[in-house]
Amino acid sequence: MYSRITGTGSYLPQKVLTNHDLERMVDTSHDWIVSRTGIEERHIAADDESTSDLALHASRRAIEAAGIDPQQIDLIIVGTTTPDRMFPSTACLLQDKLGIKSGGPAFDIQAVCSGFVYALSTADQFIRGGQSKCALVVGAETMSRIVDWTDRNTCVLFGDGAGAVILQASETEGIISTHLHADGGYKDLLAVEGGGCGVNRAGTPHMVMDGTAVFKFAVGVLDSIVEETLSANGMQKSDIDWLVPHQANVRIIQATAKKLGLPMERVVLTVNAHGNTSAASIPLALDTAVREGKIKRGETILMEGVGGGFTWGSVLLRW
Ligand code: ACO
């Protein structure tokens, strides 16, 4: 028994914040942001929109694309680092908004920008283990709520959005393998220290980041996850048709594409228009490519992500 993606959906809030808008907020320039990151604009949630609302829109589109009845969904996993509430989980809030009464498990996964690969890998285990037949797997974020809009080092990088997939039990091969890692020794490279329940709960509720160290770390672990994924499956670089990477920075993505020997035409790139939407970036990119008709059934896709923790991982699948 395999698990296979049968539908994708995504949602971006209406409000667009361009680099030129940011020039009026902090000491930066459109050219600096584009040359260092590839980002031109990002979407920002409205005051009355929460992560679960973004997730709801993306989920409805994925459900429609898969052609299923929402009541078939027996597992909901939401990758998010910006949940609506401390609890209940965003997945439970989403289950209620979708009116799903199946009683299947619903929970969030916190792996920051690796949230979607962690969530998809977990759903794959549930399906292969026979505990679930039809999973809704979502990456959804309102990063704008944890960004310090006076800090040019971070505020130019992030955006809001959501992406979702329906993952179903299938006799046809879908997900081939998943590979997850973490190293908490790097906890301070990228963090929001305040706002939790720790002794630092009165600390800053905003993101702090050592950008140069994050860049180096990301390129290194993504190189090794590519090697690990290929060798675990006895595959060559040339077996990969598409790279659907976490969208943090075009230079990090180019480094992974080079490692794979893939031309940039075979890399799904949305960071220019979405910024870094953390756990939402991979399913947003996947849905964009699917709806543009780029990815064809039977093609082999490598997804990879890296984020705070530090966490990193990959999902290899046949479309
Ligand atoms: N506008 C203008 N100048 C800026 C800005 C800005 N928005 N932000 C920082 N700078 C300045 C810095 O203050 C620094 O100035 P200084 O040298 O006087 O101290 C200088 O620019 C640094 O410039 P560079 O060394 O050329 O910057 P670099 O090439 O390292 O790019 C960047 C910086 C974009 C942050 C890069 O390191 C990066 O992308 N890192 C990865 C960060 C990331 O992706 N985080 C996301 C979360 S984790 C993940 O998703 C993988």
What integer best gives the mean pLDDT of the chain?
96
Residue 246 designated active-site: yes
Identified catalytic residue from 92, 113, 134, 155: 113
The CA distance from 276 to 292, in Å, is 21
Closest to 62 in 3D by CA, of 177, 144, 122, 139: 139
* C-alpha count within 13 angstroms, C-beta hemisphere, residue 296: 2
Nearest CA to ligand 1 atom 7: 152
Residue 155 designated active-site: no
Domain range annotation of the chain: 2-171, 176-318
Q: What is the pLDDT of residue 248?
A: 96
Domain 2-171 belongs to what architecture? Answer: 3-Layer(aba) Sandwich (3.40)
Kindly indicate the confidence band of residue 113, based on its pLDDT and cuts at 50, 70 and 90: very high
* C-alpha count within 13 angstroms, C-beta hemisphere, residue 10: 25
The CA distance from 134 to 155, in Å, is 37
Kindly indicate the confidence band of residue 24, based on its pLDDT and cuts at 50, 70 and 90: very high
CATH of 176-318, picked from 3.30.1300.10, 3.40.50.800, 3.40.50.450, 3.40.47.10, is 3.40.47.10
Closest ligand 1 atom, residue 214 Cα: 41
How large is the average pLDDT for residues 118-136? 98
List the structure tokens of 79: 């990758």
Residue 113 designated active-site: yes
How large is the average pLDDT for residues 29-50? 98
Q: What is the pLDDT of residue 224?
A: 93
Query: Which carries the bigger pLDDT value, residue 12 or residue 260?
Result: 12
pTM of the model: 0.96
How large is the average pLDDT for residues 74-103? 97
Q: Cβ distance 137 to 123 under 8 Å?
A: yes
Pocket of ligand 1 (CB under 6 A): 28, 32-33, 36-37, 113, 152-153, 156-157, 190, 209, 211-212, 214-215, 218, 246, 248-249, 276, 306-307
**Whats the size of the chain, residue-wise?**
319
How large is the average pLDDT for residues 258-264? 92
Q: What is the pLDDT of residue 57?
A: 98
ipTM of the complex: 0.94
Q: What is the pLDDT of residue 202?
A: 86
Identified catalytic residue from 43, 179, 206, 246: 246
**pLDDT tens, position by position, 173-228:** 999 999 999 999 999 999 999 988 888 888 899 999 999 999 999 999 999 999 99
1 pLDDT more than 90: no
Q: Burial code of 213-233, b = ≥16 C-beta within 10 A, e = fewer?
A: ebbebbbebbeebbebbbeee
Q: What percent of the chain has pLDDT over 90?
A: 96
List the structure tokens of 173: 């091969």
